[in-house]
Structure 1
Amino acid sequence: MVSLGLHGLGIGAGASRPVIDAVAAAAERSGFATLWIGEHVVMVDEPSSRYPYRADGRIAIPPDADWLDPFIALSFAAAATNRIGLATGVLLLPEHNPVIAAKTAASLDRLSGGRRLSLGVGVGWSRDEFDALGVPFERRGQRTEEYVAAMRTLWRDDVATFTGEFVSFEGVRVNPKPYRRTIPVICGGNSDSALHRVAEWGDGWYGFDLADVEEVAERVSVLRRMCRRVGRDFGDVKLSVSLKESRPEDLVALADIGIDELVVVAAPPDDPIVAESWVDDLARRYVGALR
Structure 2
Amino acid sequence: MGLHALGIGNGARPEIVRAVAQAAEAHGFATLWAGEHVVLVDAPVSRYPYSDDGHIAVPADADWLDPLLVLSFAAAATERIALATGVLLLPEHNPLVVAKQAATLDVLSAGRVTLGVGIGWSADEFTALGVPFAGRGRRTEEYLAAMRTLWREDVAGFEGEFTRFSAVRVNPKPVRDRRIPVVMGGNGRAALRRAAEVADGWYGFSLSAAEAVDRVRALREHCAELDRPWDELTVAVALTDATPQTLPDLARAGVGEVVVVGEPPARPDEAERWVARLAGHWMASA
Q: Give the TM-score normalised by structure 2.
A: 0.99
Q: For structure 1, which runs of at least 5 residues remain unmatched after alignment? A: none
1: CA distance, partners of 2:45 / 2:11: 27
1:45 counterpart letter in structure 2: D
Q: Return structure 1 stretches of 4+ with deviation > 6 angstroms.
A: none
Q: Secondary structure at the match of 2:191?
A: helix
Counterpart of 1:239 in structure 2 is 235
Q: Secondary structure at the match of 1:40?
A: coil
Counterpart of 2:259 in structure 1 is 263
1: CA distance, partners of 2:254 / 2:222: 16
Counterpart of 2:149 in structure 1 is 153
Q: Give the TM-score normalised by structure 1.
A: 0.97
1:165 has 2:151 as partner:
no
Following superposition of structure 1 onto structure 2, how do residues 31-70 of structure 1 map, counting pairs within 5 Å? 31-70=28-67
Deviation at 1:266, TM superposition (A): 0.8
Q: Secondary structure at the match of 1:128?
A: helix
Q: Secondary structure at the match of 1:25?
A: helix
Among residues 267, 278, 281, which one is paired with 1:285 in the alignment? Answer: 281
Deviations 1:8-51 (A, max 9, x none): 01000000000000000000000000000000000000100000
1:9 has 2:12 as partner:
no
2:145 counterpart letter in structure 1: A
Deviation at 1:245, TM superposition (A): 2.4
Deviation at 1:258, TM superposition (A): 1.2
2: CA distance, partners of 1:248 / 1:66: 31
Higher relative contact order (CA 8 A, sep 6+): 1
1:223 counterpart letter in structure 2: L
Deviations 1:181-212 (A, max 9, x none): 0101100010001001011111000010102x
Q: How well do the aligned residues superpose, as a CA RMSD in angstroms?
A: 0.7
Deviations 1:117-156 (A, max 9, x none): 1000000000000000000000000000000000000000
Q: Secondary structure at the match of 2:87?
A: strand
Q: Secondary structure at the match of 1:194?
A: helix
1: CA distance, partners of 2:111 / 2:193: 29
Q: For structure 2, which runs of at least 5 residues remain unmatched after alignment? A: none
Q: Secondary structure at the match of 2:184?
A: strand
Q: Secondary structure at the match of 2:75?
A: helix
| Count of aligned pairs | 285
Among residues 134, 140, 150, which one is paired with 2:130 in the alignment? Answer: 134
2: CA distance, partners of 1:34 / 1:57: 28
Deviation at 1:246, TM superposition (A): 2.0
1: CA distance, partners of 2:201 / 2:226: 15
